[in-house]
Amino acid sequence: MLIPLELAQLSAQLSDLSSHDLEVAETLIGVIRFLLIFVAARTLAEILVRFQLPTILGELVAGVIIGASGLHLVVPPETQVHLSESFNTLIAGLASIPPETIPEIYNETFPSLEAVATLGLYALLFLTGLESELDELVAVGGQAFTVAVAGVVLPFALGTAGLMLFFDVDLIPAVFAGASMTATSIGITASVFGELGYLKTREGQIVIGAAVLDDILGIVILAVVVSLAAGGSFSIAPILKLVAAAIIFVVAAIGLSRTAAPAFDWLIDKLKAPGEVLVASFVILSFSCFAATAIGLEAALGAFAAGLILSGSKHNHAIQQAVLPIVTLFATIFFVLVGAGMDLSVINPLDPASRSALVVAGFLLVIAIVGKIAAGWAFVSDQPTKRLVVGLGMMPRGEVGLIFLGLGTSAGLLSPSLEAAILLMVIGTTFLAPVLLRLVLGGDKPDDGDKVDDTVAVDPVGLV
């Protein structure tokens, strides 16, 4: 921490710099920061995609490597971690200014990077809603619903209660951690099912349909928790009001996917200027975020709802193709910053003081696995293997779990140890699910009678 005298000296030094020197320093910091983020993120993403794992996982690990837990090259100001001396020296040498002024300039320019990252998060949630196959959820009907509800209620209730009873975690962080375990990422599961010929089976489509509902329920829960934490009110009435508002908001979005999407399509067909699909989509996205915020919910829920509204559009594929480059660029920054802000020293197994955090991480991982596998038994079948397949298919949290973690981190709801524990839970379930599914399904082929005619559109590498 800088003492007041040092702060005064720094302010004096900054005031002595010309506007040109400051502009050069700010530009260099911004350019080098972007280079570090994209080179590190894409390098690890290229490695993980070859193992059919989410590239977002690589982006988050890249943030850990270059951030507060690693090289100290990209450091959010709130972490109170000092920038690498080599970074300071490089910028100071290129801009011809004193090295001790670099951290202050760095911190002043950081909010602009966070604003870009937030745009990436909203674009990613919009794309997630856009890819939600609501028709598939209807097609598999009640069984997907029961699996989804069990897959949300069990890990949420067990995780929240366990953290509060056994580890004395406060209500809001415990509820948020429990909510983060409700997520289901269909990208990895769909890839394994497709590889083994199970994607079009009854079990495969139940998992896909249930995953859609899981994401909807999980994001509703998180939006309510974040809104409650921001307002500082924990009485029953505000909670019920927010829950009701969130449910109505999402139900309205699903309804609008049938009624408003045709009007959107008509408008797109009339527009002729280049970029009409992207611009019109972001108008819907902005309006939905505004509407969510206006009624006391998180803008993130509005972004997801905007995707649900346009999921019924005949231009769905064109919208996805237009939005994907923005997600690829800006969401990368978001997840790198999430990783960069994490202090993984709190789970150092060699430090006795960190072992309690490792115990919490182990608890969350066990609950996350058991809760989803148990949800498979909500699927009506006389064959235990098929129930196990459904449960394992619901297990990977992947990029959806990381979105939830990012929301908690950006809202400041989680302690460093709980952040690290949730991260380990997401990584553990993401890596274990494909392995266990291949072990269970590897030697079997689905019967023709088990297959259904519906096809499921999914992202094979689990980006969104």
Given this model, what pLDDT does residue 436 score?
86
Residue 201 and residue 80 share a domain: no
Final residue belonging to a domain, choices 106, 129, 157: 106
- Tell me, yes or no, whether 139 lies in a domain: yes
Given this model, what pLDDT does residue 449 score?
47
Mean pLDDT by 10 residues, the chain (464 residues): 51 59 85 93 88 77 88 85 87 82 86 89 85 66 82 92 92 88 73 69 77 76 74 65 81 85 89 88 92 82 87 89 89 87 76 79 93 85 78 82 79 83 86 82 59 44 40
Closest to 76 (Cα-Cα) out of 41, 102, 113: 113
Model pTM greater than 0.85? no
- Tell me, yes or no, whether 458 lies in a domain: no
Q: Which range of residues forms the domain containing residue 21?
A: 15-106
Q: Is 200 helix (H, G, I), strand (E, B) or coil?
A: coil
Residue 421 and residue 400 share a domain: yes
Residue 362 and residue 439 share a domain: yes
Closest to 388 (Cα-Cα) out of 397, 375, 398: 375
d(CA 327, CA 286): 15
Residue 344 and residue 439 share a domain: yes
The answer for residues whose C-beta is within 8 angstroms of residue 53's C-beta and 6 or more apart is 188, 430, 431, 434, 461, 462
- Tell me, yes or no, whether 111 lies in a domain: no
Residue 311 and residue 224 share a domain: yes
- Tell me, yes or no, whether 148 lies in a domain: yes
Residue 99 and residue 122 share a domain: no
Given this model, what pLDDT does residue 34 score?
93
Closest to 329 (Cα-Cα) out of 116, 60, 109: 116
- Tell me, yes or no, whether 418 lies in a domain: yes
Residue 49 and residue 157 share a domain: no
Domain count along the chain:
2
Residue 152 and residue 31 share a domain: no
- Tell me, yes or no, whether 461 lies in a domain: no
- Tell me, yes or no, whether 1 lies in a domain: no
CATH at residue 203: 1.20.1530.20
User: 197's torsion region: left (phi>0), alpha (psi -120 to 50) or beta?
Assistant: left
Residue 137 and residue 94 share a domain: no
